[in-house]
Structure 1
């Protein structure tokens, strides 16, 4: 992402005490490279609107210092705000694996992976050093918790949301969960048989998301294709090397940066075929 956007996010986005106004949006967009994709700008606006919303779950720990609080407004850098998000005052071992996941999903920066060229690297930056996520990854049932939370989600409910801001915030959160699933160490917690079953269920969720593609956006297809390819590689199956030159797939496989839609379309077609044959 252009440095101007990151600067705008760091310097402006997290200062608003309440939901930002139209003037606040103008302030952000003024800093944005005018040639950058309009859809990315829309995503940034959606993130702005979603900040400070109360989570759907009642959590035992829920970021006392977060957007909209005096504590948050007094902080002046992203690093300070990341430090303020650390879980304190509660023994992490008393939190269930699913609780740790749900707390991580409510992290004030969780959706900001979209503000990076590489969503994978963006999510890594978001969660870097966060003690709740570090504890979550240490749990032997971490991937099971991810599967349980993700697969019990009814994506169809997105059509009941009152406005595009709610829809966008919801879609970015669920895509963020998919990005968390792309962690090699977490994928290794599944057996080959479990991976096959996982892909079948992932495909079912992807089909539902396709019905609401205007909300979930192209990044949804990209992350689904990436996760499918990652799991197939872990089981010794190669889907891209025989069809594309190395330079055409390197940035996608290494950083989830899409230079061409052809590999994505190829993988999603193979995803359909894989599920039908398994």
Structure 2
């Protein structure tokens, strides 16, 4: 039921386009969903090609702008169609040169984490339709999937990993005030992020705060299954981890 609802919201959001997470940009997609030009593109490969940033521009864009462009990419939310959300995200964004360039930036995760920390979830209260609220949650969860990248996490210093973990927990607590919009899959993305970060912190790796099992290993790598018997123990481990680090 949840996936069917998300997929319906995704289809509607793609049709109406997006203005969420907008900021000042020096470059924008020349062809966008909903436009006549987009409709004339015959297949997905043509649409992927139309979204590429010119090579003489992409390397010069600030990390902040690359991040914004990724969140506004027409296929950024397509992960909702996949059985494995993280694999769906990698497949949909892996061919975008803006995302590839973002992964090269040493400050990429710091930029994302700073945005995430500052994002006020009460923005949901200003959105008037279910489509707008669904689009917001899809994009927010997409940012969480993007931050779960092992390469980016590995670039953080030991201290910044701890701060990032604290941010993950703080934002999870904020989500609890918006269970209808950010609950459900929102707890899954929090658990997935935590399961990625916790093992990289030396003090936590030694005491093994995450329960070990084949299902847990599958969740940490493929984000499936995301049953409550996997998600809930990770969220408890997240809380316990912060207590140990304080």
3-state secondary structure, aligned to 2:77: helix
- Normalising by structure 1, we get a TM-score of 0.80
2:11 aligns with one of 37, 48, 51: 48
Contact 1:168–1:216 (CA under 8 A) maintained in structure 2: no
Q: Which runs of 5+ in 2 are unaligned?
A: none
Q: For residue 157 of structure 2, what is the aligned residue in structure 1?
A: 191
Is residue 86 of structure 2 the alignment partner of residue 120 of structure 1? yes
Query: Which string of whole-angstrom CA distances, capped at 9 and with x for unpartnered residues, describes residues 88-108 of structure 1?
Result: 385223210000000111000
- CA shift, 1:117, in A, is 0.6
User: Root-mean-square deviation (CA), in Å?
Assistant: 1.7
Cα drift, residue 276 of structure 1: 3.2
Higher mean C-alpha deviation, range 140-149 or range 115-124: 140-149
Q: Deviations over 1:168-206 (max 9, x none)?
A: 111111111110111111001111111111111111111
Going from structure 1 to structure 2, the CA distance change for 1:259 and 1:177 (only over 3 Å counts) comes to closer
Out of 204, 209, 213, the position equivalent to 1:239 is 209
Q: Distance in 2 between matches of 1:97 and 1:250?
A: 32
Matched, 1:148 2:148: no
In the alignment, structure 1 residue 261 sits paired with structure 2 residue 228: yes
Q: Which runs of 5+ in 1 are unaligned?
A: 1-37
CA shift in 2, pair 1:100/1:259, >3 Å: closer
Matches within 5 A, 1:22-61: 38-51=1-14, 52-55=17-20, 56-61=22-27
Confirm whether residue 272 of structure 1 aligns to residue 235 of structure 2. no
After TM superposition, the score normalised by the length of structure 2 is 0.90
- How many corresponding residue pairs? 238
2:188–2:226: 8 Å Cα contact kept in structure 1?
no
- Distance (whole Å) between structure 1 residues aligned to residue 121 and residue 19 of structure 2: 19
Partner of residue 161 from structure 1, selected from 127, 133, 142? 127
